[in-house]
Structure 1
Amino acid sequence: MIYLDNAATTQVHPDVFEAMQPYLALQYGNPSSIHAFGRAAKAALDKARAQLASFVGAYPQELTFTSGGTEAIHAALFGSFLASGGRKHLVTTALEHHAVLHTCDFLRTLGCEVTIVEPAADGRIRVEDVVERVRPDTFLVSVMAVNNETGAVLPVTDIARAVKEKVPTVQVHSDMVQALGTLRLDLHESAVDFASFSGHKVYGPKGVGALYIRKGSNWKAVLHGGAQERERRAGTENVAGIVGFGAAVHRLHEHWDAHIRHIIGLRDAFWRALQGLPGVTRNSPQDAVPSILNVWFEGVRSDTLLMRLDMAGVAASAGSACTAGSLEPSHVLQACGYPDERVRQSIRFSFSEFNSEEEVTRGAEITRDIVQELRR
């Protein structure tokens, strides 16, 4: 099987699995307990928090562990709303993950007004288009760093700085789930107040994420019931998962340059192998992160192509894994202004360090053969 759906989830790296194993069996203490078992678990949490902080350019105390990216996003948006002091306007973009857009839908039921910024004709979000929609009653702007369907990089830092120049009290959140393993991050130097992360996109386990809350940000906890995570997220921490998350980002930190070179090589090899096949167009911009390549195969329905690819041993996706089973076309490609026909004929391929150039080339060749057969 050739697995090319790494934007949905990545394989757990053996080093990560090894780091987690003791906390799945022998080291089972509750990190809130004061005895030796608890202190050992607490030390493991502290180590993982420091590893993630070092990787993203934050202070350890600014990071709160969650059950994943979706919870981190919900906590950022809803926690900012709770602390907004009566302001009820939020600005986001049409390109966001459903974890953002559906949370915005929920906030609307609580009286929040949400303004959705559409991308320009080139599919990009422009700084000025976001800033001009910021109002005195805006409490939050939420803009993702890397789009999960096309790999497009959004100008989050520029948007955050421009927003705060206009209305200094407006806070900025960024969904950085897809950015964590593809962009060099330095939250110290950014103007972002909140950032959301997930472990299973970077060779870590599922069921663990993190929320960055800049020191001094206006935010209230959403989940109550205990004093865990500096009273920001109640509930006993997923120690094994958090250890795995820390080990995963530590690995990336140590091997960053080689990791990125490898992913670029995979993306380029896959695209080269598709060259010469007529009616093939990149939906991903040229400056997208290398881990994601969204491709339009003119005249071939994506659902049919994905089924045939799966039967031939190639795993890919038509978009976000969170919309699996849905017949709805990609909201991201629609927002970019593509006609419905193109949207329904597009496939996302995504790469990881577990892929080799030989297998991605083979995956592209299989794709070529199936596309040609379906067109006939």
Structure 2
Amino acid sequence: MTEQQQLSQIYLDANATTPVLPAAAQAALETMQTQFGNPSSSHITGLQAKQIMEQTRGKARKVIGASSGQVIFTSGATEGIQTAILSALYQAKHNYSSEKKPCILYGATEHKAVPESLKHWNHILDIHAEIKAIPVDKDGMLDMDYIAKEVPNALMICTMAVNNETGAEQDLSKLEQVIRSNNPETFWMVDCVQALGKVELDITNTSIDYAPFSGHKLYAMKGIGFVYIREQAPFTPFIAGGGQESGLRSGTENLPGLASLNMIFDELLGQGTGAFADKATLTHYRAQLAEALTTAFPTIVFNNNFACSVPTTLNFAIPGFSAKEILDLFDAANIRVSSGSACSSKVTGSFVLDAMGLPRAQSEAAIRLSFGPAATQHEINDACERIAYCAKALGHSCLVNMNELDNKSTLDGLVQFKVGGSCCWLFVDGDSREAVIIEPLAELTQRLLTVIECQGLKLKAVIDTHGHADHASSRTQLLNDELTAQKTDHLGWPKHCETTVIAGHQLAFIEVGQFALVKVATPGHTEDSISMSLCHKDELAAGKINSLYTFCGDLVLMGTLGRTNFESSDTQKMYHSLTLLHSLLGNDSLLCPSHDYNNEFVTTLDAEMKRNKLLADVLTQSLSLKTFIEQKVQLDNQIHDEKNQEIMCGALTGCTQKHHFIELNKDTLQTHLETHQNVQLIDIREPHEYALNHAQQFDKNVPLTRLADFIAAQKPHKSQPLVLVCRSGSRSSVAAQALARLGFDQVAHLKGGYALAH
């Protein structure tokens, strides 16, 4: 085991959840072992339990400054939100008499629990109010003018005190003045989940009607929270039953959770162990982390304004890197951070940052680093050191400039970079250090320049397969002095180059070390579309293309064909381009498209024909040109991506197929290794993760960026038993699916990865 593997966990995802404070855990344990009574029981054990509950309620009032109103214990914030929304809307339905259509307002950066609950109860209660998102500015502050305009017709307005992704802190006093001066009767809920322990609250002296809180965001147990309800604010029980909580919230009380919450309140009231740091200390911690991040990643962009956010949240992006890449990098160094909200099902753009008007690429790359008031100076120091080590690992992989490193890894072969669904390809001839870049993406410009400089590459060409409608090319930004002087067409293909005749077609090519990149005109998706096949020079001299890779642009995409309904498209020419490419390459050449919407990496004509009948009919000559054009129009009519408002370059037909591969767990892994001969263990992590936490028993490191290169090398050995492993099992599963789809029939992966293997 390496030194890095022995590093302790540094947990910097406190906005998602927190560990239970030792004193809180002990209090919960004692209630389970010795004070386990039911607070509703009238005997002594029950009375002792009820005393704990009422003590906790009294302390809750002090913490939030609620001398009046109700404090009701719940299972957490979501239940509190439901209780508030149901109570307010049920009453508002009977109160509202205006001739204007009513509305319900919520902040555009609210946690999804709020708008989804509003939609649900608006429908269930048959109110049919218009639900409107309140815009925010670049700092996440609510638009007061919008509120003043819309709130007169609002049945309810929902805001949050502190945002869970950015830490943006709303001015509740100013917000109250705008709301109440324009509508003193509307019901106002403030989500205070992220404010507890970070913001001074004085709820009694506000007109807030409802305020939900959660324990697990501040070192108490999961499954415990509470909701404040202003005196005389309407209330409808969300849970009916045995009449607990004075009939306000039925269900046996979570006494261990209450006991843990009781200890947290002691800390907030200055009656505990002194585990919580003050605001000045927390602000200092943030400054240290920000400095460490900036030193490690000089191009870093902070997405939240520190001047108007709580000091425990940093939200940032590192240009050229996806959120997933940085998340995996930090996780390999045993630093736990998140990409946006932990409640998101997958890494996509942050709707919070989108609402703030940040560029889409910045939103998609966002990382949230958050800590709680129990953080210590020692933990922050360790985090800063570990962040520097992460940057060093990236330098080892030539992804950031770390000039003092003398043991940089050497690139050889094909590398695939992705931004969203768009692909960029870098091919390097290891001997000559000559390289080409295909489909350069603007978001990757600095990253590619760093790789070129660090690896000492001689760039022979930077080429697009066509003029892209969905993204900008960064071709000109990557050109060195020699390439700038090179005469090329608008896609970057050199005007003066050698030609050869293959199967009766005169084709231009350029040399890249011992390889040749051959250009084939394949119009259809656009008039200027080309494909480029990479093969060995000596094979080209023999008059054939035995292609290692073919960069086919958007002619053939995984599961579909490129769209042909642009002004510059030509469906008839696409038909002929498909037959031409097939005649030159055959069925088994690896195709590297411009887009990969389903994480399938590369494909072949054979694999696509098995699931794309339209393509199969063209290549088997069982479809006339006229019929192809008719069916292609129908296919293009399926193109839409309303959710992301992104230009899709091919219809997502839903024809992605699941292919069989073996899922192993930690119990079946050893048996599998013993019963299969010649098994190759493959680590799917990226090289920088591998350097941070290298398991010596693995035969090979094949990150997803190099999977296409591995597939090409492994094609003659498709029956080789493979076991793929990554951090969580997600990447190894994706890679196993991609391999199985291309005919690798002995592929297994470790479900749960390293995370569940110990």
Give the shorter-chain TM-score range.
over 0.9
Matched to 1:129, the amino acid is Y
Q: Name whichever of 247-256 and 297-306 sits farther off.
A: 247-256
The answer for the alignment partner of 1:204 in structure 2 is 220
- 8 A contact 1:265–1:357 mirrored in 2: no
Divergent runs of 4+, >4 A: 370-373
The answer for the alignment partner of 2:260 in structure 1 is 244
Taking CA–CA contacts closer than 8 Å with sequence separation of 6 or more, which of the two structures ends up with the larger relative contact order?
Answer: 1
The answer for the alignment partner of 1:269 in structure 2 is 288
Residue number among 59, 78, 81 corresponding to 1:70 in the alignment: 78
Distance 1:32 1:357 in 2: 44
Distance 1:60 1:100 in 2: 25
- 8 A contact 2:68–2:230 mirrored in 1: no
The answer for the alignment partner of 1:135 in structure 2 is 152
Shift of 1:121: 4.2
Residue number among 111, 129, 134 corresponding to 1:112 in the alignment: 129
The answer for the alignment partner of 2:279 in structure 1 is 260
CA distance 1:177–1:24, change in 2 (3 Å)? same
Shift of 1:257: 7.9
Residue number among 227, 242, 248 corresponding to 1:232 in the alignment: 248
CA distance 1:231–1:61, change in 2 (3 Å)? farther
The answer for the alignment partner of 2:107 in structure 1 is 93
Distance 1:132 1:149 in 2: 27
**Number of residues of Structure 1 aligned to a counterpart in Structure 2:** 374
1:112-152 Cα offsets, whole Å, 9 max, x none, are 3211111124432132322221134x221110000000000
- Of Structure 1 and Structure 2, which has the larger fraction of its residues in helix? 1
CA distance 1:121–1:266, change in 2 (3 Å)? closer
The answer for the alignment partner of 1:84 in structure 2 is 92
Please list every run of 5 or more consecutive structure 2 residues that lacks an aligned counterpart in the other structure. 1-8, 97-101, 400-446, 452-758
- 8 A contact 2:215–2:221 mirrored in 1: yes
- 8 A contact 1:50–1:60 mirrored in 2: no
Shift of 1:218: 1.9
CA distance 1:35–1:85, change in 2 (3 Å)? same
1:239-259 Cα offsets, whole Å, 9 max, x none, are 110121121122122159843
CA distance 1:295–1:307, change in 2 (3 Å)? same
- 8 A contact 2:302–2:316 mirrored in 1: yes
CA distance 1:123–1:22, change in 2 (3 Å)? closer
- 8 A contact 1:291–1:351 mirrored in 2: yes
- 8 A contact 1:52–1:250 mirrored in 2: no
CA distance 1:208–1:94, change in 2 (3 Å)? same
State the percentage of identical aligned residues. Answer: 30
The answer for the alignment partner of 2:35 in structure 1 is 27
- 8 A contact 2:147–2:178 mirrored in 1: no
Matched to 2:371, the amino acid is F
Matched to 2:17, the amino acid is T
The answer for the alignment partner of 2:598 in structure 1 is none
SS at match of 1:197: strand
Matched to 1:102, the amino acid is E
Please list every run of 5 or more consecutive structure 1 residues that lacks an aligned counterpart in the other structure. none
1:12-55 Cα offsets, whole Å, 9 max, x none, are 11111122222112211111111112111111100001111111
CA distance 1:143–1:61, change in 2 (3 Å)? closer
Residue number among 347, 355, 370 corresponding to 1:350 in the alignment: 370
- 8 A contact 1:228–1:236 mirrored in 2: yes
The answer for the alignment partner of 1:311 in structure 2 is 332
- 8 A contact 2:333–2:386 mirrored in 1: no
CA distance 1:142–1:371, change in 2 (3 Å)? farther
* 1:330 equivalenced with 2:350 (yes/no): yes
Matched to 2:258, the amino acid is I
SS at match of 1:91: strand
Considering only CA atoms, is the larger Rg found in Structure 1 or Structure 2? 2
Distance 1:74 1:363 in 2: 41
The answer for the alignment partner of 1:169 in structure 2 is 185
Distance 1:84 1:203 in 2: 36
